[in-house]
Amino acid sequence: MAKQEKEFVKEITPQSEDYSQWYLDVILKAQLMDYAPVKGCMVIRPYGYTLWENMQQRLDKRIKETGHLNAYFPLFIPESLLQKEADHVEGFAPEVAWVTHGGNEKLTERLVVRPTSETIICEMYSRWIQSYRDLPVLINQWCNVVRWEKTTRPFLRTSEFLWQEGHTAHRNEEEAEEETLKMLEVYRDFVENDLAIPVIAGRKTEKEKFAGALRTYSIEALMSDGKALQAGTSHNLGEHFARVFDITYLDKDGELKYVWQTSWGVSTRLIGALIMVHGDDRGLVLPPLVAPTQVIIVPIAPKKAQAEVLAKAQELYNELKEAGVRVEMDDREEYSPGWKFNEWEMKGVPLRLEIGPRDLQAGVAVLARRDTGEKETVALEELAERVPALLTEIQKNMFAKAKRFMEENTHRTDDYEEFKQIVAEKRGFVISSWCGSDACEQAIKEETKATIRNIPFHLQDEKPGNCLYCGKDGKHLVYFARSY
RNA sequence: CGGGGUGUAGCGCAGUUUGGUAGCGCACUUGGUUUGGGACCAAGGGGUCGCAGGUUCGAAUCCUGUCACCCCGACCA
Instruction: For residue A286, tell me if it sits in a domain.
Output: no
Q: How far is CA A412 from the centre of its chain?
A: 26
The answer to the question of residue A288 being in a domain is no
A35/B58 CA-to-C1' distance in Å: 38
Statement to judge: residues A110 and A217 lie in one domain? yes
Q: Residue A446, CA: closest nucleotide via C1'? A: B74
Same domain, A68 and A108: yes
In a domain, A289, yes or no: no
Cα separation values, A361 from A311, A319, A357, A379, Å: 14, 20, 6, 11
Residue from A241, A243, A184, A172 nearest A218 by CA: A184
Query: In the listed set A278, A311, A339, which residue is the last one of a domain according to the structure?
Result: A278
Q: At what angle do helices A19-29 and A269-278 cross, to 10 degrees?
A: 110
Q: Which residue is nearest to nucleotide B38 (CA to C1')?
A: A339
Q: Indicate the pairing of strand A76-78 with strand A228-238.
A: unpaired
Domain range for residue A338?
A: 295-390
Give the domain-ending residue among A362, A390, A418. A390
What phi and psi values does residue A248 have, to the nearest 5 degrees?
-125, 160
Q: Are residues A476 and A383 in the same domain?
A: no
Q: Are residues A30 and A117 in the same domain?
A: yes
Q: Which nucleotide is nearest to A94 (CA to C1')?
A: B75
| A24 CA: nearest nucleotide by C1' | B70
The CATH number given to whatever domain includes residue A370 is 3.40.50.800
- Chain Cα centroid distance, residue A325: 24
Q: Are A425 and A405 in contact (CB under 8 A)?
A: no
Q: Which amino acid is at A117?
A: S
How many other C-beta atoms can be found within 10 angstroms of the C-beta atom of residue A207?
11
Residue A112 forms part of a structural domain: yes
Same structural domain, A255 and A375: no
Closest nucleotide to the alpha carbon of A116, via C1'? B77
Pairing of the two strands A364-369 and A327-329: unpaired
Cβ proximity of A220 and A452 under 8 Å: no
Q: What is the pLDDT of residue A10?
A: 62
Nucleotides of B under 7 A from a protein CB: 1, 11, 28-29, 34-39, 68-77
Question: Protein A37 CA to nucleic acid B76 C1', in Å?
Answer: 22
Which amino acid residue lies closest to nucleotide B71, measuring CA to C1'? A20
CA–C1' nearest nucleotide, residue A160: B77
> Comparing C-alpha atoms, which of A296, A279, A115 is closest to residue A197?
A279
Q: Are A140 and A164 in contact (CB under 8 A)?
A: yes
| A269 and A338 both lie in a single domain | no
Task: Tell me the CA–C1' distance in angstroms for A361 and B5.
Answer: 57
In this structure, the answer to whether residues A374 and A464 fall within a common structural domain is no
Question: Is there a single domain that holds both residue A219 and residue A327?
Answer: no
How many angstroms is C1' of B75 away from CA of A288? 36
Q: What is the sign of the dihedral through the CA atoms of A208, A212, A217 and A222?
A: negative
In a domain, A403, yes or no: no
* CA of A13, C1' of B14: distance in angstroms: 21
Is the same domain home to A306 and A434?
A: no
- Does some domain include residue A259? yes
How many domains is chain A built from?
3
Rounded Cα distance between A164 and A144, Å, is: 8
Q: Estimate in Å the CA A336 to C1' B42 gap, whole number.
A: 20
How many Å apart are A150 CA and B1 C1'? 8
Q: Are residues A271 and A302 in the same domain?
A: no
**Whether residue A316 is found in the same domain as residue A421:** no
How many other C-beta atoms are found inside a 10 Å radius of the C-beta of residue A251?
A: 14
Asked whether residue A454 is domain-assigned, the answer is: yes
Distance linking the first and last C-alpha atoms of chain A: 33
Q: What letters, b where the CB count within 10 A reaches 16 and e where it falls short, cover A47-83?
A: bbbbbbebbbeebbebbeeeebeeeebebebbeebbe
Backbone angles phi and psi of A221, in degrees to 5: -115, 160
**Minimum-distance nucleotide, CA of A373 to C1':** B37
Give the amino acid at A173: E
C1' of nucleotide B1: residue with nearest CA? A150
Nearest nucleotide by C1' from A40 CA? B69
Q: Å between A408 CA and B12 C1'? A: 37
- Has residue A396 been placed in a domain? no
Q: Which nucleotide is nearest to A231 (CA to C1')?
A: B77
Does residue A119 sit in the same domain as residue A187?
A: yes
d(CA A78, CA A113): 9
Burial of residue A16, with CB atoms counted within 10 A of its CB: 0-12 exposed, 13-18 middle, 19 or more buried = exposed
Distance A424 CA to B69 C1' (A): 28
List the pLDDT tens digit at each of the 484 positions of chain A: 233 333 445 678 888 888 888 888 899 889 999 888 777 888 899 999 999 999 999 999 999 999 999 999 999 999 999 888 888 888 888 888 888 888 888 999 999 999 999 999 999 999 999 999 999 999 999 999 998 888 888 899 888 999 999 999 999 999 999 999 999 999 999 999 999 999 999 999 999 999 889 999 999 999 999 999 999 999 999 999 999 999 999 999 999 999 999 999 999 999 999 999 999 999 999 999 999 999 999 999 999 999 999 999 999 999 999 999 999 999 999 999 999 999 999 999 999 999 999 999 999 999 999 999 999 999 999 999 999 999 999 999 999 999 999 999 999 999 999 999 999 888 999 999 999 999 999 999 988 989 999 999 999 999 999 999 999 999 999 999 999 9
What does the alpha-carbon distance between residue A190 and residue A187 come to, in Å, rounded to a whole number?
Answer: 5
Residue nearest to nucleotide B67 (CA to C1'): A39
CATH code, A452: 3.30.110.30
Q: Estimate in Å the CA A371 to C1' B38 gap, whole number.
A: 20
Given A278, A311, A329, which residue is the final one in a domain?
A278
- Check if the beta carbon of residue A412 is closer than 8 Å to that of residue A426: no
CATH number, residue A147: 3.30.930.10
